[in-house]
Structure 1
Amino acid sequence: MVSSPRLLFLLLAGASLCCVAAQKTDTLRQGESLSGAATLVSSPEGVFEAGFFAPDPKQPSRQYLGIWYHSISPRTVVWVANRVAPATSASPSLTLTVTGDLRVLDGTAANGTADAPLLWSSNTTSRAGPRGGYSAVLQDTGSLEVRSEDGVLWDSFWHPTDTILSGMRITLQAPGRGPKERMLFTSWASETDPSPGRYALGLDPGNSGQAYIWKDGNVTYWRSGQWNGVNFIGIPWRPLYRSGFTPAIDPVLGNYYTYTATNTSLQRFVVLPNGTDICYMVRKSSQDWELVWYQPSNECEYYATCGPNAKCTASQDGKAKCTCLKGFHPKLQEQWNAGNWSQGCIRSPPLGCETNQSGDGFLPMGNIKWPDFSYWVSTVGDEPGCRTVCLNNCSCGAYVYTATTGCLAWGNELIDMHELQTGAYTLNLKLPASELRGHHPIWKIATIISAIVLFVLAACLLLWWKHGRNIKDAVHGSWRSRHSSTQSQQNSAMLDISQSIRFDDDVEDGKSHELKVYSLDRIRTATSNFSDSNKLGEGGFGPVYMGTLPGGEEVAVKRLCRNSGQGLEEFKNEVILIAKLQHRNLVRLLGCCIPREEKILVYEYMPNKSLDAFLFNPEKQRLLDWKKRFDIIEGIARGLLYLHRDSRLRVVHRDLKASNILLDADMKPKISDFGMARMFGGDQNQFNTNRVVGTFGYMSPEYAMEGIFSVKSDVYGFGVLILEIITGKRAVSFHCHEDSLNIAGYAWRQWNEDNAAELIDPVIRASCSVRQVLRCIHIALLCVQDHADERPDIPTVILMLSNDSSSLPNPRPPTLMLRGREIESSKSSEKDRSHSIGTVTMTQLHGR
C-alpha cells in the first residue's frame, strides 16, 4: 500500500507534468519529439501553428507535418514537410536529433534516434558543425528554423511548398549551407493531396529577373514580365507589387526578390493545383480569406497564346483575340482563320537591312507587355544610343529604354505579347520604311502642332466664357505677374472650395487628385483669423496655423510672409510639385488661396507635428523607440525613392532636415516643404546654380561650396538625418566637440575607432538592436561621403536597409568638415548671405 506522503508526491508530480504538457511552446529542443495532437505555436503573437494534420477527411490515416495559421478556421496550411511520403501509423512524430537533424518518422522515436521509418529529413546533420545546443523554433512569420550556437542551419522558408509568405526571399536557388537546390513554389496535386502537383512558380534560370509558372516541369505556362524598377510589367495590380516586392542581388544567390506584405501579415500567395497564382488577404471584419488578385486572369495571360510576332487583346469576358503586329502576316493563314494562333506571324516585307536598303525605323507600341527573351545592352546609357544599337543590328527586332531598366533589346521573333489595360509600357518595333508611312516624325510634328492649336483655341474660349482669370491661369500661366487688374483680384478673392483643379499625373495610386481653391474668408474662419492660439510653428517663410474646415476636417495652413525669401517662383514650385506628387511618405497638399498679395497653402494636418519636436525634446524622446525610429528612416527613404526615381520627373528636395519631416497619427513620416525643390529632366544628372538654398549641417559639400546639386545632395541630407535619429541630437550640436566639425566627422571618428555604439541615444541604447543600429550608422556614413559619386543612390540605400546580411563597403573619411562660420567667411559679402545653422533655411548664398 502506498503511503499518504508518497501518494501526495505522485499526484503533485503528475499534475506538474500535465501542466507542462498543456503549455504551448514554440520550440522543439535537441532530443525532443512532437507527436499526436501536440503542436508548436509561434511566439509572441501566436500567428502560426505546426503539427500533424490529415488533409483528406476520407483518409484520416494519411498524415503530414505542416504549418498553418493558428487562429483562422478552417485550417489554412502554408507549408508541408513530408509531401511525398505521408505517415500511415497512428502516431507519427517530429524529432530533432542530437546531431541537429529535423526528421519526420512514421512512429515514435526512442531517445532521439531514428528507429521508426524515416519519411522526411531536413538533412542538416552533415553540415551542422561540431557545436550542439540545437533547437527548432516556429516564428511568427511562419518559418520553422533549426538553430545552433552558429546561427540558423535550416529554414522552411528556404524550402517552400506552394505558398509565399511575408518575409520570404524568392531566389533562384535555396539559401543555406547544404547542397544547392532550385527554389520552386510547387502546387498541391489536389485540394486534399499535398504531394507535388503539375505547376511550379520560380525565377527565370536565365537571370532575367522574371517569375514564371511552369507546367509538368518545363512547359512555360505564365510569366510576370520584366521588372521595370517599380513592378513586374505583366502584372496589372500595381500597388501590391510596387510595395510588396523588392529586388536585390546577392553574390551567391544572384538576383532575388524579398516579399513584404503591404499592410498585414495575414496575406499570402498560393500556386493552386490548376496553375493559378492567387493572392489572399484576411478580411479583418470576418477573419475570412478574401481573394484580391490572381494570374493568369484571362486567356491572353497564358504564355504565347498568339504565338510569335502577334499581339493578344482580351475581351471583357477574358477571351483572347490575336492580331499580327504591323509589318507581319499569319504564318499559316488557314489555321489562323480557324482560331489556331500557335504558329504566330512572320515578317513581310523584310527589313531594309536584309535587302541592303536603308530607311528602317521604329514604331512605338504603347501599353504592351514586353516580349520574352530580352537581352540587356550594358554598353548603352541613353535612349538614342539604345535605338542606334538596335538599328545597326539586323537581328534586333525591337528595343526599350527606361531609366530603371536601361537598354533592353529583342531578336526578330517576339513572343508572348499582350495589350495591357494600364501601364505606360512602350515597345519600339523595328519596321522597314514602307511600313512607317504615316508614322514619320513630320506627321507626328504636324499632329502635335494641330493639337496645340486646338488646345489654345479651347483655352481662349474657356477664359472668355469665365470673364476673368481662374486659378489654373495663376498656376500655369501667370506666375511672373505680381500685379493684376482690380477685376482679376475680385475674381480671385471670390474663389471658394467649390472650385478645384484636377490632376491626373503619375501618382502612386493611379487615381486623379484635385487641388481645391479656398477663399480668404474661408481660411480666416478656419484659423480663427490666424489666431496665435492656432499657430503650430513658424519656419523661414512664414507661420503655420491649425485650421478646421466646415465638416470638421483639420488642416495645416501655411501663410507665406510677404517679405519672406519664398516668392512667386517658390510658391509655384510648391503648388505644382506637391499637387502632382502623391505618395504615402510625402505630405499632401489639399489646396491653396492666392487673393491679392497673399500666398497660402493648405496641407493635410499632421497631429504629431515634425520629427524634431520629438527627436530633440527630452520629454518626448522616449516616445521614439528604436523600432519607430527605424520605420521613420525607411519611410523617408521610400519618399525619396519616389522623388528621385518613381515620379515622372526626378525631384531634388534640397532642404531635407528633421523639421521638414512631419509625423502623422501613427508616427509615419511624410516629407514636406517643397519650396526649394527642383525638377530634373530625364537626361539630367546634376544642376549648377548660383543661388544656394538649404540648411547648414544638411548641405552636401559640392552644393555648399560650388552650387552643384543632384539627387546625391538629398542622399547627403538623408545620411545626416539618420545620424540625428540615432543620436537624438541636432547635427549642429556636435560643433562643440573638440576636433569634430560636424556630425558626419564626429560619427566617422567614433566608427573608425570602433566606438560607434557610443553614438546611440541613451534613451534607446538598452532596448535597441545594436547590430541593426550600427548598420544604419554605417549606411549613414556612406551617404555623407564628400564626393557625390561615392555616395549610394536611394534604391541602393533601401536595399542596404532591408537586407541586413549583405556586406557594406567602408566609408571614406570626411575631409570637408566645415564649420558654419568657416563657410561664412569664405563668401564674398555680407549682403549675399541669409542663413543660420540648424533651424532657419538659407535663401541667398552665391556659390563659387
Structure 2
Amino acid sequence: MISFEIKKQVVLIYLWLWWNTTATNICVKATSDSLKPGDTLNSKSKLCSKQGKFCLYFNRTLDSEDAHLVIGINADYGAVVWMYDRNHSIDLNSAVLSLDYSGVLKIQSQNRKPIIICSSPQPINTLATILDTGNFVLRQIYPNGTKSILWQSFDYPITTLIPTMKLGVNRKTGHNWSLVSWLAPSLPNSGGFSVEWEPMEGELNIKQRGKVYWKSGKLNSNGLFKNILVKVQHVYQYIIVSNKDEDSFTFEIKDQNYKMFPGWELFSTGMLTSSEGEIANADMCYGYNTDGGCQKWEDIPTCREPGEVFKKMTGRPNTDSATIQDNVTYGYSDCKISCWRNCECNGFQEFYRNGTGCIFYSSNSTQDVDLEYSNIYNVMVKPTLNHHGKSMRIWIGVAIAAAILLLCPLLLFVAKKKQKYARKDIKSKREENEMQDLASSHESFGVKDLEDDFKGHDIKVFNYSSILEATMNFSPENKLGQGGYGPVYKGILPTGQEIAVKRLSKTSGQGIVEFKNEFVLICELQHTNLVQLLGCCIHQEERILIYEYMPNKSLDFYLFGKNVLDYTFKCFVETRFNIRYQHIQFTFFKLFSLISDFTSKVYFMTC
C-alpha cells in the first residue's frame, strides 16, 4: 500500500512537471500573441505572432545557465534576430517577463533587481504584442480603439536587419539605429564591427570601432548599391527616408511568397550576409585595397605592404616569445587590428575559450609550430610574386617596353598603308570626277568632243576602233619597242599611211585634264627635227599618241653600231642642235629616231 502511494505521488509529480514544461507552452502559443496587464512569460513558455513567423522567449547562452530575452524566427526556436540588453544576462530558470497593471513592462529574475523595459508615465490600458514583422511592441490602447506605440524592439537592432527594421537616426530623439556584431561567436556582447546608414553620403558603412572599413557605394539608376553584387540585391526593395523626423534606410522583400530567411546578419569577423549570398566582407579590408568597397586608410603601418593578409592555420605556435592580452573586451577584430599595427607581430589567436583576449606571436614564434595541436591561429602572409617580387616587377616593365617597341613599327606600317589607300582613293575619285566632267557620263570620248577641244591645231582625233584595226589589236608582232611611259606599236591606216602608236601606261599617274594640256602644248611646238605628232585617242583609261613612223630605227642603233663615220657624224651634229633647242624649250626629251634620209628627229613627250 505504501509502495502504491509512492508510485501515485511520483506520477502526480511527473504530470505536474509535464504541464508546466509542455502544456503551458502550447497554451500560450495557441491562445494569444500578446501580454495583457497581469500576464507573464517565463523560461518555459513563449509568445508567438499570429502567423507563427516570430516568437518571443528566453534563450540560454551557450555553455552557461545565463539567458536573454530574444525574438527568434519560426515557432521552433529558430535563428535569433533580436535580443534585449545583450551585455547583461539573467538567470534562465527564474527569468519572468511581465506586464503589470500600471503599464510597466519588466524582466525579473532570482537575486537581481527588476529590469524595466518600459514604464508608462501614468496607469493606462497597455498591450505588449509580438507582430508578424518580428517587432515586439508595447502599445497604449485608447477608448476609441486606436493605439500608439510606447516602446518597440525595432528601435534596438542587434546583429540582424529584417524587413522594415531601420538603420539611421531618429531626429526627434537623437536615437541611432545600427547593427553591432557579437564580440565572439558564442558571446553576444557588443563586438567591434557595426553597420550604419550615412544619410549625407547615401551609403551603408561597415566600421570597426568607428573606422570605416567598407562602403556600399550610392544607389544607381536601377536602385542598386554599387559595391553589392546584383544577384544578392535582386529580391530587395530599398526604402530611404529623409525628413525632419528621421534619416533612415530599410528594405522590403519584393516577392511576398519568398521562402528564405529575409534578413541581413553581421558576424563578429565583419562579414555581412543574407540568404542570397555575401553582401560585404570587411574582414578582407586592410586599408590598402579598394576591392568590393573596401576603404583606404591613412594610418597604415610602414612595415605592411599591399597584398599582406592574415591566413588561418592549424597548430600551436611557440609561445616562448608570445605576448598575451587578457582583456575580455577584446574580440577577433580587436586582436587582428592590434597585430596589424604592430610591426613585430606576425600572427594572433584568441586567448580565452569564449573567443576573447589575444595571444600575439612574433615571426620566430610562427616559424616553430607544433602541428599535433588543432588550435586555429592567424598568421601574416606576405604577397609573393613567384618569390621574386622586385625582379618580377622588373620583368613586367621589360615586357611592356618590348611590346611597345614591337607595336610602334606595326602601327606605323598600318598608318602608311591606310595613307596609301587613302591617296589611291582620292586619285580614283578625282579621275572619276574628271571623266564625268569631260565625258558627261559616257564611257569614252567622242571624236567630235575632242576635235572641239583641239580646234585651231592641225591635229586629228582618232577613233579607238581605228587604232585597234591599225595595230591589229596591239599585236606583239607590231611592237616596235618599250619606252619609259609605255610600248610603241607600228600601225597602218586604211589609207596605207604608216604610223607609230604610243600607248601610254595606265600607271603614268596623269589624269585626262593633264593629258589634254600636255597634248595641246606639244601641238604648239613645230620643228623640222621633231617627230611630227599626227593625233591622239582617248578611250576610258586609254591615252594614245599617234606619231609619224620612222622606218630607219632609233638613233642609238647608228651611234653605237659599226656604220661609217659620215652618217654618225651627221647625226651627232644634228642631234647637238636638237638638244640645244630642247634645252631652251623644255627640261627633258626622248630618244632620237631617224627618217629615211638619216636626218635625226627627237620624240618629245613629257608625260
Interval containing the TM-score (normalised by the shorter chain): 0.3 to 0.5
- Structure label with greater radius of gyration: 2
Provide TM-score, normalisation by structure 1: 0.30
Higher strand share: 2
